[in-house]
Structure 1
Amino acid sequence: MASSSQLPSVVQLKPFLQPFPYGREGMDSWAAQYALATPSLKAGVEKDGGIKASQPYGEIWLGSTHQNGPCEVEGKEGESLKDLIQKDPRFYLGEKLLNDQQMASQYPNDLPYLFKVLSFDKPLPLQCHPDKTLGGKLMDEEKRKLGKNSDFVDSNAKPEVGVALSPFTAFVGFRPPEQLAATLRGTPELQQMFKDSTLESFYQVASSSPSDDQAKAALRSLFHEAINLPKSKVKSIVQALQARFKKDSADVVFAAANEFTPQGEANASGETEATAMKRVFEIGLKTYGEEDVGVLASLALMNILRLRAGEGTWILADDLHAYVEGDIIECMANSDNMVAHGLGTSEQGGISTFVEMLSYRHLPAEKLLVSHDDVWSKSENGYARLYNVPIAEFDLLAIFLSTGRNFERLSPLDGPLCFVVTQGEVTVSTGDDSVTLTKGQAGFVKAGTEVKFTREGEAPTQVWGAFYQ
């Protein structure tokens, strides 16, 4: 173990570029742009032929020790962020994290979170992330069946938060039963997804002020039938909706849904619910075709969030979701597990598992937002925002600097900080150590040290970070 006096307290990181198929293509992708900002990553990309105009680049992992996309220390070829932490876990991770029994058992001597930017103009898979118990079971089953793990390479749960950097649309959770019942009653095409008896049972439950368990059981019945629709049935319903749109506007086809148009930041676009439903329907259809069951299941059953930059949403283990389009900061527990079916993904983890594992959370869209505090005790000058993340593994912060707001100092954080510059240029200082980074570049700061962020040049500066506390 190296002496802590010889170890840097802040370093620049080499991110890991992920060319996932839902990403924006070529240099339209923020992930691709950010990849070229870091010299060693840019050199690797150029050696491989450069950023390709027709290649989608879905994500760039900016603070990761996960085996599926590990970050390295910039300027230290071959040294991963995990290698750096292992030189002195107490120095880098801090006493509180190492003494946290939950964190120590799930992420021994490791980051408890995974920090990313996503950039996409095609829907992500209709998905959820298993809790730790199911994650371990799926991992074991895959290993027995295939002799190795490919889809399930860790057993950790994967709760997450996504915060918009540009206008962001997302399916998150089920509509509340009352809203869903009205929408289905008013849309004959969507009724065709379900048996008449299932619909009648659901309508009875929805109209009776159901308990949480009753509502979840009714939603489970609907989802079971929706996700198991044969491709031929999906196609016929999709074509019926297309035929309606040739005659009627969205506000006619989905008129019943308009009564439940989200208010405030959950609908920052200002669209009616019907307009948003038609838009996401057409995006999914254009990308994945008339037989993708996720196109219908998400449209019929789920909340549609329309967020502006700076607003975010939270996803817990076993919550149904599918992001649609946007550029976002995403942070999650240190895991890469997913059970999915539809919106471009064939069955992963098993459809029956998908149905059984879901939480069937059914909050209204307005209650799915992550709140934030612009007055934070750790912030000396008041230029740092703290997001109130309901997840044990991490919290999120954003720092905004501009003319007259040239620096921010944070008092010591309990755990390690991973961060990315999304605008401008900034010098990040911790005692005698400092790094100067520009847009798209990422860094790591040890636990328990005061951190100063100083704006360089005239441009406004934004820094986003994830940390444990």
Structure 2
Amino acid sequence: MSGVHRLTGVVRPYAWGSRTFLAELQGRPAPADAPEAELWLGAHPGDPSTVAGHDGPAGLADVIAADPAGQLGAASVDEFGPHLPYLMKVLAASAPLSLQAHPDLDYARKAFAAQEADPSLPRNYTDANHKPEMLVALTPFQALCGFRDPAVSASVLESFEVPSLAPVVAALRSGVAGLAEAVRLLLTWPAEDRAALVAAAGAPLARRLAEHYPGDPGVLVALLLNHVTLQPGEAIWMPAGNLHAYLEGAGVEIMAASDNVLRGGLTPKRVDVDELLRVLRFEVLDDPILPATELAPGVSTWRVPIRDFALYRLELSGSRPPTPVPAEGPRIILGVEGDAFVAEGHGTPVEVTAGTAAFAAADAGPISVAGTGTVFVAAPGL
């Protein structure tokens, strides 16, 4: 199966999802019957997309497995193996997600191998890959991303006038070197005292998070992070070891094809504190917002220091000629507004409207997009 084909993703119904955003994006009745959190577009085994073909729909993972070189291109296969190296999502959050971080590639490989060799170890990893990720806001989007200045966090915690927090405040007053100890103290807080501790946190963000996760010490850990609000088109970049959480809003997310997540609170799920501390990068992130780079009129990207993925935004105008897509290899083209048409050479264009997508195999060669509105294009960052 070569060329460009319509791609159908899978909607995941996590409890924190929105009942309206994805339904309205795709022109379905809203509100939906249940929360709709993520639209997955890719070949991840957790929920692979399907590709329309002459013989009917087929799973994208199966299409790739049948012809890795044609679908992915030699460069992608050589570097990442016979698998799509990225996963694209539309994320829609109406409630806070868990605090989380992801391992780097070397650590993920070693930890997954150790886990597979010893069944007695905790099942923290689902694969041997890293999971750096980036999100570009489609609506105003609130997130926690990276540690802020520990002195600022110390002042916030001190303002609660909780004597038992003194060791945490002291650790933060020692600067970046004390971040790990501050996080460890909070996440290992005695279970019987957690509810009182969280209730005493008077910051507006803490009160908001405690409504969803009462008694969760992650509420206090969240106060050590940058709280940012993205405007549509702004992005945040979350490399390995970056502690982060999405709070509210919708955006296009792209990540390496992995499902390795280590949680750090704001969740009813298990938190492996020791493993999380081994993975986290304890450093101050001064500015979590990643600026866009304009490549051509109406074409922009966000530069990240990894090769698993690249993301492009194309702003289309019906008065302009077709816009060439500045990427090769396996590409996913997602519409978020308007009516676009994706074409290879002189092939029949594939229509992409809001909430729908197309897949262009590597052997399709150069592709272009015409029409009106906005599309995002995911590709390897080779």
Assess same fold via TM > 0.5. Answer: yes
The superposition leaves residues 327-369 of structure 1 with CA deviations (integer Å, 9 ceiling, x where unpaired) of 0111000101111142123224x221112221123122xx222
Q: What residue is the counterpart of 2:7 in the other structure?
A: 13
Q: Which amino acid aligns with 1:454?
A: A
1:437 aligns with 2:361: no
Give 1:198 deviation, angstroms: 4.9
Give 1:146 deviation, angstroms: 7.9
Question: Structure 1 residues 227 and 35, CA, compared in 2 at 3 Å: closer, same or farther?
Answer: farther
Q: What residue is the counterpart of 1:342 in the other structure?
A: 265
Which deviates more from structure 2 when the two are superposed, residues 15-24 or residues 397-406?
397-406
Q: What residue is the counterpart of 1:199 in the other structure?
A: 169
Give 1:35 deviation, angstroms: 6.3
Query: Runs of 5+ in structure 2 lacking a partner?
Result: none
Q: 1:307 aligns with which of 217, 230, 251?
A: 230
Question: Structure 1 residues 433 and 82, CA, compared in 2 at 3 Å: closer, same or farther?
Answer: farther
Question: Structure 1 residues 408 and 84, CA, compared in 2 at 3 Å: closer, same or farther?
Answer: same
Q: How do 1:70-469 residues align onto structure 2 when only pairs under 5 Å count?
A: 70-74=48-52, 77=56, 79-100=58-79, 103=80, 108-136=81-109, 137-138=111-112, 140-141=114-115, 144-145=118-119, 152-185=125-158, 187-189=159-161, 192=163, 194=165, 196-203=166-173, 205-206=174-175, 215=176, 217-241=177-201, 278=204, 280-288=205-213, 290-299=214-223, 301-348=224-271, 350-364=272-286, 367-374=287-294, 376=295, 379=296, 382-402=297-317, 404-405=319-320, 407-410=322-325, 413-431=327-345, 432-447=347-362, 449-455=365-371, 460-468=372-380, 469=382
Structure ID, larger Rg: 1
How does the TM-score come out when normalised to structure 1?
0.74
Please tell me the root mean square deviation across aligned C-alpha atoms, in Å.
2.7
Between Structure 1 and Structure 2, how many residues are aligned? Answer: 377
Question: Structure 1 residues 52 and 181, CA, compared in 2 at 3 Å: closer, same or farther?
Answer: closer
Q: Which amino acid aligns with 1:451?
A: I
How does the TM-score come out when normalised to structure 2?
0.89
Question: Structure 1 residues 114 and 387, CA, compared in 2 at 3 Å: closer, same or farther?
Answer: same
8 A Cα contact 1:16 1:61, kept in partner:
yes
Corresponding residue SS for 1:188: coil
State the alpha-carbon separation in 1 of the partners of residues 132 and 108 from structure 2: 12
State the alpha-carbon separation in 1 of the partners of residues 155 and 8 from structure 2: 50
Question: Structure 1 residues 286 and 182, CA, compared in 2 at 3 Å: closer, same or farther?
Answer: closer
Question: Structure 1 residues 283 and 427, CA, compared in 2 at 3 Å: closer, same or farther?
Answer: same
8 A Cα contact 2:17 2:94, kept in partner:
yes
State the alpha-carbon separation in 1 of the partners of residues 191 and 141 from structure 2: 29
8 A Cα contact 2:343 2:350, kept in partner:
yes
State the alpha-carbon separation in 2 of the partners of residues 200 and 283 from structure 1: 26
State the alpha-carbon separation in 2 of the partners of residues 410 and 467 from structure 1: 10
State the alpha-carbon separation in 2 of the partners of residues 193 and 98 from structure 1: 54
Which deviates more from structure 2 when the two are superposed, residues 332-341 or residues 72-81?
72-81
8 A Cα contact 1:232 1:291, kept in partner:
no
Larger helix percent: 1
Query: Runs of 5+ in structure 1 lacking a partner?
Result: 1-6, 38-49, 207-214, 243-276
Q: Percent identity?
A: 29
State the alpha-carbon separation in 2 of the partners of residues 155 and 121 from structure 1: 31
Question: Structure 1 residues 193 and 417, CA, compared in 2 at 3 Å: closer, same or farther?
Answer: farther
The superposition leaves residues 159-204 of structure 1 with CA deviations (integer Å, 9 ceiling, x where unpaired) of 100110000111111112333334344x134x5563x34533542x
Give 1:24 deviation, angstroms: 1.2
